[in-house]
Amino acid sequence: MPLLARFRSIGVLGVLLLLVIGAAALTPQHTFIQEANLKTLLALGPEFGIIALGVGVLMVAGEFDLSVGSVLTLCGFFFIWLVGSGLNPFVAALITLVSGIAIGFVHGLVVVKARIVSFIATLGFMLTWRGLAEILTAGVVRSHNFEQYPLFTQLVTGRLGGVVPMQLIWFILFAVILYFVLQRGRFGNWIYATGDNVEAARAMAVPTDLVKLTCFMLVGFMCSFASLLQITRTAAFTTHMGTGWELQAVAAAVVGGTSLRGGRGTMVGIFLGALVIMVIDNMIGQARLPYEWTYIAFGLVILGAVLLDLAVEKQVQRATA
Amino acid sequence: MSATSSANGQELLKMVGIHKYFGRVHALRGVNFSVNRGEVVGLCGDNGAGKSTLIKVASGYHMADAGQIFFEGREVKLRSPKDARALGIETVYQEQALCPHLSIARNIFMGREPTTVLGLLDQSRMNEESMEALASMGLKLRSPHALVSALSGGQRQGVAIARAIHFRAKLVILDEPTIALSVKEVREVLDFVRHLKDQGVAAVFITHTLHHVFSVADRIVVLAHGCNLVDIRTKDTTVDELSDIIARGTLGDAAPTHKPESEAAAAALAQQATCEEDTEAEQEI
Amino acid sequence: MQRRTIQNLSLGGFSTPLVFIITILIFWAFSPGHRFLDPRNVAAIAKLTPDLGVVALGIGVLMICGEFDLSIASVLPTCSFIFTQLLMAGVSPFVAFVLLLPIGAVFGLINGLLVVRTGLPSFIITLSTMLFWRGIVYVASGLMPISILPYIPTGSPFAQMLTGQIGPVPVQLLWFLGIALVLGVVLHFGRLGNWIYATGSNQDAARAMGVDVRLVKIVCYMIVGSLCAFAAMMQATRLGSFAATQGIGFELKAIAAVVVGGTSLRGGVGSMVGIALGVFIIQILENGLILLRVPVFGVNTFIGLAVILFVIINNLTNRQLAGQGF
Ligand SMILES: Nc1ncnc2c1ncn2[C@@H]1O[C@H](COP(=O)(O)OP(=O)(O)OP(=O)(O)O)[C@@H](O)[C@H]1O
Ligand SMILES: [Mg+2]
């Protein structure tokens, strides 16, 4: 397993390097590798990347969450509303994070207890939460001046040593923590087992329902954390936050070698997969392609990633048979 | 149904009057079942007789709808596999209960992973101990890192049984461990069971192949349609006699021609009669 | 001892009609001036429902066979775009109509092949084809609507055929009911239907009994594709134009309708009558909420919740049917 997984991650790394080189070469005036763009990429990208990490772990546990974009939006609304009503941003952030976890808990409960296929349940919640955000904000565009909280903005969207975006630091930090949880910890073993063979895991007294519930809560937490980053950065709220991210997050995980059937995937792979998606998204913008092209691009990326994974899996099976 | 909680010190597991429903399916209709210390009991019966359901009740996977379970003389409630394991009941399920994409070591320690001070998996201990456990069963595998999906069927059963032995089970339940195995692999698995017995561990061995069970079991219990049919010591019966009874699924026809040869068979006959009365009574409702 | 399974059984079968009646009663009671059952509103529902409904019937069949198709939301506008292009190229609407049904089937074929050849979860596959076709139709049309009134004037025979009126009854409704009838017969009385149920409830068993599971799935996808093409033309004719936004949200509403119609998300269970009723329930929900002055974007919230709630209820009744085990 470690060997194969490592090979798989090296494959993703190769794809990432190719993409970066391609983007550097092909974007008009090589804007892709210019400092300004790299800074944007590494500051904006993690908003998506952090969510993708959570979605990846959930997929290892064998479930999907297609509501991430909507949870991001709803949490973003909570945050700007709380801060706007004069609350200390740290307190507001805490409440937002807790509400994100609570939303994840609801998702998990519906999947685990009501036994609804997770992609349908979260598809339903995708409509529900974004609709709720739209009702609550009542069409008003909300903005807020975050510069009055230098400490908070410094922590969330500042630059470490004036260079490295804090968002990137958070992204890497979460990836490292999740690496230890998933691949080196006891709970991680349960996550793999739950995704690989629920019945077996249950028979071995692994609390599979709890495992899934926790993973859903992790995704909720990651969405709410990303909403803090995005709201603080843009200082405004729209109901279009994170549209399309649900699929891109699945794509990131799959590109990184996570199985759509659960039970297989590594944090390194998921991390690199998230970077790949971040780069593609940025490239499309840099290449000045009309927005419509992103649909085609991501449609093909997901399909490509999925087919690649299938090929890898077939090879693995042939090798072990 | 009369229930006695007296244990003669020999009795390890005793199940009395177990009922289990799956919606409309009445899978167990008041089954009695017991295993003594260090005894290997063969559990037989036709497809759907309720064998797997009975042992899933014993291993905490299913809760019985009625009936009592005693372990080492004390009444116990098994609400989850965890409860059963805590008592020392380990189960190797018919549907191979291993995670194919995880390593042997991770599978053996599934749910009971040792951790270091930092809360991380103690991987070196897991690797060492799992190799030891496998070696103690006479299983030589290359590395604890190998994925279970790369093992043969016999080896997988070996891993599952090693898991049970390693955690000092008092009773190991094996649900059709020889199904879909080659002749050589079957022999391996039967050796594993003898290993268990040598170490004083009791076992329940479910199979459709009477020859397998005859070579290892001390006693054989036959279920039919969720009722007890036969409970007899292996040396008091023959493969032919038992396969005849299982095929017919009842002692009723056999009784006139074939006088029950042992007390156990006679008792079983009586038991079956009560069980069938129950069934008829229920159908009237 | 014995559980009252008979009762549970009938509850499972009754829940869809029950929900249907309850939604009607609620909206009748609470809509301002009981406008909900106003003949004009009823006529509007009868006209609007078939757009989604025709597609949902196909999705229902597909879900009984155990698969999903989210790409309908993009296949529909793509078909509509092709339709307008054909009209603009001087093709008679009737010829275009006949051409488009197999074209729709080809879209389904692509999905079906991808799903059965890869064996991957169909919702991922069809999500990616949804993105792909949406991109194509956006790029090709530049997001501009294209009027088809010059080719299909209001009241022309073609418009009459798809969107006319027979007495008080809109033709759309007749098409919807007709297609439901045909699919119902296929599903409940035909050999294919038997295979569809078998495939959905236990693929391996179906295969073991000699059912070509892959072929069954591909055929179901092709049915969905053709129905998308049909709905695309019906909707474009009603609107008098192609719009890139046609079909947006249909993927979820169709699943919602099918699920509310009592179809299992895991395949193998469902009926045509239930699915048809489910379509009406979803449309009534949407219409009724708007009559109740719920903001348009808020409607989605309720549809999302309705799906989840209904599936929970359904699962609970089913679980009582099947016992606690799984
Ligand atoms: N989870 C479940 N849900 C519903 N019915 C079940 C379930 N498990 C078992 N049954 C039913 O209970 C009865 C007994 O099944 P069980 O699996 O115990 O039989 P078995 O003796 O192990 O048969 P086999 O030799 O085929 O393994 C069967 O009728 C079966 O269909
Ligand atoms: Mg069995």
The domain spanning residue A240 has which CATH number? 1.10.3470
Q: State how far residue C323 is from chain B, nearest Cα, in angstroms.
A: 4
Minimal Cβ distance to C129: which of A120, A128, A299: A299
Q: How many domains does chain C have?
A: 1
Contact A185 B119 (CB under 8 A): yes
CA dist C100 and C33 (Å) reads 43
> What pLDDT is recorded for position B264?
52
pLDDT one-digit tens code per residue, A94-137: 999 999 999 999 999 999 988 888 988 898 899 899 989 988 98
> Which residue from A1, A199, A259 is facing B95, i.e. has the nearest CB?
A199
- The percentage of residues in chain A with a pLDDT greater than 90, rounded to a whole number, is 57
Local structure of residue B64 (DSSP, 8 states): -
Nearest ligand by distance to the CA of B175: 2
Please choose, from the candidates A172, A188, A166, the residue with its C-alpha nearest in 3D space to the C-alpha of residue A264: A188
pTM equals 0.83
CA A114 / ligand 2 centre spacing (Å): 27
- pLDDT recorded at residue A7: 64
Per-residue pLDDT tens for A168-188? 999 999 999 999 999 999 999
Q: Determine the residue of B46, B52, B54 to mutate for testing ligand 1's pocket, defined as the one with the most ligand atoms within 8 A of the Cβ atom.
A: B52
Q: Tell me what pLDDT residue B6 has.
A: 41
Q: Which atom number of ligand 1 is nearest to the Cα of residue B45? A: 21
- Which amino acid is it at B54? L
Q: Which residue in A has a C-alpha nearest to residue B96's C-alpha?
A: A200
Tally of domains within chain A: 1
CB spacing of C301 vs A132 below 8 angstroms: yes
pLDDT score recorded for residue C153: 92
Residue-range definition of the domain harbouring residue C30: 2-323
CATH number where C310 lies:
1.10.3470
Instruction: Give residue C13's pLDDT.
Output: 55
Contact call for residues C96 and C152 (beta carbons, < 8 A) = no
Q: Which of residues 145-184 of C touch B (CB under 8 A)?
A: none
Residue C286 CA, ligand 1 centroid: distance in Å: 45
Q: How far from the centroid of its chain's Cα atoms is residue C6's Cα?
A: 31
* Chain B residues with at least one Cβ partner in C under 8 Å: 21-25, 62, 282, 285
For an interface test with B, give the residue of A60, A177, A183, A197 to mutate (most B CBs within 10 A).
Answer: A197
Within 10 angstroms of residue A162's Cβ, the number of other Cβ atoms is 6
Q: Please give the Cα distance from C77 to C95 (Å, whole number).
A: 19
Query: Residue A211 — very low, low, confident or very high, per pLDDT cuts 50/70/90?
Result: very high
The pLDDT score that the predictor gives to residue B165 is: 79
Inspect the interface and report whether the beta carbons of B101 and A264 lie closer than 8 Å: yes
Nearest C-alpha in A relative to C253: A124
pLDDT of residue A1: 41
Reported as a single tens digit per residue, the pLDDT across C105-130 is 999 999 999 999 988 889 889 988 99
Q: What is the mean pLDDT of chain A?
A: 89
Atom of ligand 1 nearest to the CA of B53: 18
B8: closest CA of chain C, how far (Å):
33
Would you give the DSSP letter of residue C33? G
Query: Is B52 a member of any domain?
Result: yes
Instruction: Find the B104 Cα to ligand 1 centroid distance in Å.
Output: 29
Phi, psi of A55 (to 5 degrees): -60, -40
Report yes or no on A5 lying in a domain: no
CB contact under 8 A, A299 and C135: yes
Q: Which domain holds residue A75?
A: 33-316
Q: What is the pLDDT of residues B110-130, one digit of tens each?
A: 888 898 888 888 989 999 999
The whole-number pLDDT of residue B275 equals 63
Three-class secondary structure assignment of chain A: CHHHHHHHHHHHHHHHHHHHHHHHHHCHHHHHHCHHHHHHHHHHHHHHHHHHHHHHHHHHCCCCCCCHHHHHHHHHHHHHHHHHCCCCHHHHHHHHHHHHHHHHHHHHHHHHCCCCCHHHHHHHHHHHHHHHHHHHHCCCCEECCHHHCHHHHHHHHCEECCCEEHHHHHHHHHHHHHHHHHHHEHHHHHHHHHHHCHHHHHHCCCCHHHHHHHHHHHHHHHHHHHHHHHHHHHCEECCCCCCCHHHHHHHHHHHCCCCCCCCCCCHHHHHHHHHHHHHHHHHHHHCCCCCHHHHHHHHHHHHHHHHHHHHHHHHHHHHHC
B243 occurs within a structural domain: yes
State the number of CA atoms in the 13 A half-sphere of A290 facing the CB.
Answer: 10
Note whether B106 contacts A189, CB cutoff 8 Å. yes
Residue C295's nearest CA partner among C304, C286, C284 is: C286
B28 lines ligand 1 (CB under 6 A): no
In chain B, how many domains are there? Answer: 1
d(CA B130, CA B122): 12
CA angle B195, B167, A263 (to 5 degrees): 110
Q: Distance between the two ends of chain B, CA-based, in angstroms?
A: 20
Neighbours of chain C (3+ CB pairs under 8 A): A, B
CA distance B31 to B20: 9
Structural domain of residue B279, as residue ranges?
A: 7-284
A234 CA distance to ligand 1 middle (Å): 59
Whether A233 contacts A155, CB under 8 Å: no
Domain CATH code at residue B214: 3.40.50.300
Contact at CB, A320 and B121, closer than 8 angstroms: no
> Which positions of chain C have pLDDT values less than 50?
1-12, 323-326
**Given the structure tokens 């380990």, which residue do they identify?**
B90
pLDDT per residue as tens, chain B (285 positions): 333 434 455 889 999 999 999 888 899 999 999 999 989 999 999 888 999 999 999 998 899 999 999 999 999 999 988 889 889 998 887 666 788 888 899 988 988 889 888 888 898 999 999 998 888 777 777 788 888 888 887 888 888 888 887 888 899 999 888 887 788 888 888 888 888 888 889 999 999 888 888 989 999 999 999 999 888 898 888 888 888 888 877 665 444 344 445 555 555 555 555 565 555 444 443
Q: CA-to-CA distance for C252 and C260, rounded, in angstroms?
A: 12
Residue B1 lies in a domain: no
Q: Judged by CB atoms within 8 Å, which residues 1-20 of C form the interface with B? A: 1-3, 5
Interface test with B, best of A176, A189, A210, A258 (most B CBs within 10 A): A189
B-chain CB neighbours of C325 within 8 Å are: 22-23, 62
In a domain, B2, yes or no: no
> Hey, are the CB atoms on A186 and B147 less than 8 Å from each other?
no
Between CA C150 and CA C170 the distance in angstroms is 23
Which residues hold their Cβ within 5 A of ligand 2, which is an ion? B 52, 94
Helices (H), chain C: 5-30, 39-64, 72-88, 93-118, 122-141, 157-163, 171-189, 191-201, 203-208, 213-239, 250-260, 272-291, 296-322
Over residues A266-294, the pLDDT tens digits come to: 999 999 999 999 998 888 887 777 777 88
Strands B227-233 and B171-175: unpaired
Query: What single-letter amino acid sits at A256?
Result: G
**Residue B190 within any structural domain of the chain:** yes
Poorest-pLDDT segment among A26-40, A52-66, A104-118, B243-257: B243-257
- Which among A271, A270, A261, A274 has a CA at the least distance from the CA of A310? A261
What is the total residue count of chain B? 285
Residue of A nearest to C304 (CA): A124
- Is the ipTM higher than 0.90? The answer is no
Residue A165 Cα to ligand 2 midpoint, Å, equals 58
User: Which chain B residues contact residue C323 at CB under 8 A?
Assistant: 21-25
> Residues with Cβ < 8 Å from A36, sequence gap 6 or more?
none
